[in-house]
């Protein structure tokens, strides 16, 4: 931690204020909230990722080629997002959530299994709603902390999840 000492001279008295900030210039209490939101996002992405792997491995029938490729695209994108989220938490000098037990306990997304392609896509869209809500919350919390790095990262994720939701919804409702 870096300690900044500020003196305010006001006619009759001096006030010394010590503000603790981390190496990026953030107040610890502001970063705690952002890290909590990021770890929630990490939990959600991990369960989402595993659901996508499950669907990718178990898709069959007439939609195999379309959905097998799309599910692989989505889980590869999720894998990159997971790593970026965890590394952002580390950049903020905190510890990312990292065990399966923690993911299952804390995620808003549930692990799911189905053999029905339409149900797979509907489940992914439901997961996307939860991730979008979580991403917007991270962006709001990071904004309160003036954490532009986190905002930039999560805004990119948000745009991608929204676009994939549009595509999957179009497939589901054709």
pLDDT tens readout for residues 18-67: 445 577 888 878 899 999 999 999 999 999 999 999 999 999 999 999 99
What pLDDT score does 30 carry?
Answer: 81
Mean pLDDT of 109-137: 98
Q: 112 in helix, strand or coil?
A: coil
Helix/strand/coil (H, E, C) string of 21-44?
ECCCCCCHHHHHHHHHHHHHHHHH
- Taking the C-alpha atoms of residue 34 and residue 144, their distance in angstroms, rounded to an integer, is 9
Residue 16 scores a pLDDT above 60: no
Residue 2 scores a pLDDT above 60: no
CA distances to 47, 129, 148, 155, 174 from 123, rounded to whole Å, are: 12, 10, 32, 23, 17
Mean pLDDT of 65-75: 98
What pLDDT score does 123 carry?
Answer: 99
Structure tokens at 117: 């392609």
What pLDDT score does 106 carry?
Answer: 98
Determine which of 7-16, 35-44, 153-162 has the lowest per-residue pLDDT on average.
Answer: 7-16
Domain ranges of the chain: 28-172
Q: Which residues pair with 19 in a beta bridge?
A: 4
- Taking the C-alpha atoms of residue 95 and residue 49, their distance in angstroms, rounded to an integer, is 20
- Specify the fold of 28-172: Ferritin (1.20.1260)
Determine what percent of the chain is predicted with pLDDT higher than 90: 82
Residue 151 scores a pLDDT above 80: yes
Determine which of 3-12, 26-35, 119-128, 156-165 has the lowest per-residue pLDDT on average.
Answer: 3-12
User: What does pLDDT average to over the chain?
Assistant: 91
- Taking the C-alpha atoms of residue 90 and residue 78, their distance in angstroms, rounded to an integer, is 18
């Amino acid at each position: 931690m870096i300690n900044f000492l500020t003196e305010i001279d006001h006619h009759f008295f001096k006030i010394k204020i010590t503000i603790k900030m981390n190496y990026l210039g953030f107040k610890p209490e502001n970063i705690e909230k952002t890290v909590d939101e990021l770890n929630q996002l990490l939990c959600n992405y991990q369960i989402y990722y595993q659901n996508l792997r499950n669907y990718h491995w178990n898709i069959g029938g007439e939609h195999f080629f379309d959905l097998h490729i799309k599910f692989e695209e989505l889980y590869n994108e999720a894998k990159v997002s997971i790593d970026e989220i965890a590394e952002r938490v580390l950049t903020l000098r905190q510890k990312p959530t990292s065990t399966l037990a923690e993911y299952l306990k804390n995620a808003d997304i549930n692990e799911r299994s189905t053999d029905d392609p339409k149900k797979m896509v509907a489940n992914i869209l439901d997961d996307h709603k939860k991730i979008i809500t979580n991403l917007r919350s991270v962006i709001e919390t990071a904004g309160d902390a003036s954490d532009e790095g986190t905002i930039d990262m999560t805004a990119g994720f948000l745009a991608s999840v929204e676009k994939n939701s549009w595509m999957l919804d179009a497939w589901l409702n054709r």
